[in-house]
Homo-oligomer: A and B are copies of this chain.
């Protein structure tokens, strides 16, 4: 019974790591869709999101049944409760990557991201992809030290987001209100994607140590 319990617990961790991995891959595809106006990537993301959500539903249902049938305590309980939250965060990251790709589709054949801010979106994309990949490793290895580094790495995304605003409202912006609306929302999607990776890192830290990592990110 206990062995079956730990097998199920282990399968939760494996699936959560897989979800982070897929969220990372989805953001990579979304960045390609956005910067190369690549519709095939955008179509691929629609399928990928459905698969990610199905994984998330499976994680939620198994976590729920573990609570109902096994009444885990201590570290095992932390793992199960964290799984409920991490699954929701990873699912949301996939949805945000899809939002990015859909913006690319809406503007096709034009590119939603003008040249003046392409460098920022290249870096926002790669930062987001890396944060999700790190979240994957932190989840898979229950790595509290990596979880701490992820929380620190989020600052780069905030800085890129600030630079984006400066360019959009600056005197050299030639893409009018529509271009501004697009890139500001795209920036927001990237920022929120990074926030969820940080949330996952906080859950991993709690799961591994039983302590909260730093203060709550109130108002993020």
Chain B residues near A180: list those with CB within 8 A: 176-178, 180-181, 184
- A81 and B95 within 8 A (CB): no
- B84 and A64 within 8 A (CB): no
**Known A176-B177, A179-B177, A181-B168: A219·B77 in contact at CB below 8 Å:** no
CA distance A131 to B177 in the complex (A): 30
In the assembled complex, A1 has its CB within 8 A of some CB on chain B: no
Minimum CB–CB distance from A210 to chain B (whole Å) comes to: 11
Number of copies: 2
Q: Which of A79-104 contact B (CB under 8 A)?
A: 81, 84-85, 88, 95, 98-99
Selected interface stretch from A10-18, A67-75, A121-129:
A67-75
In the assembled complex, A185 has its CB within 8 A of some CB on chain B: yes
CA distance A196 to B68 in the complex (A): 26
- B185 and A169 within 8 A (CB): no
- Looking at the complex, which one of B53, B57, B85, B218 makes contact with A84 (CB distance below 8 Å)? B85
CA distance A165 to B50 in the complex (A): 27
Chain B residues near A77: list those with CB within 8 A: 64, 67-68
Q: Which of A21-78 contact B (CB under 8 A)?
A: 49-50, 53, 57, 64, 67-68, 71, 73-74, 77
In the assembled complex, A220 has its CB within 8 A of some CB on chain B: yes
CA distance A219 to B105 in the complex (A): 15
A: residues with CB less than 8 A from B are: 49-50, 53, 57, 64, 67-68, 71, 73-74, 77, 81, 84-85, 88, 95, 98-99, 165, 168-169, 173, 175-181, 184-185, 188, 216, 218-220
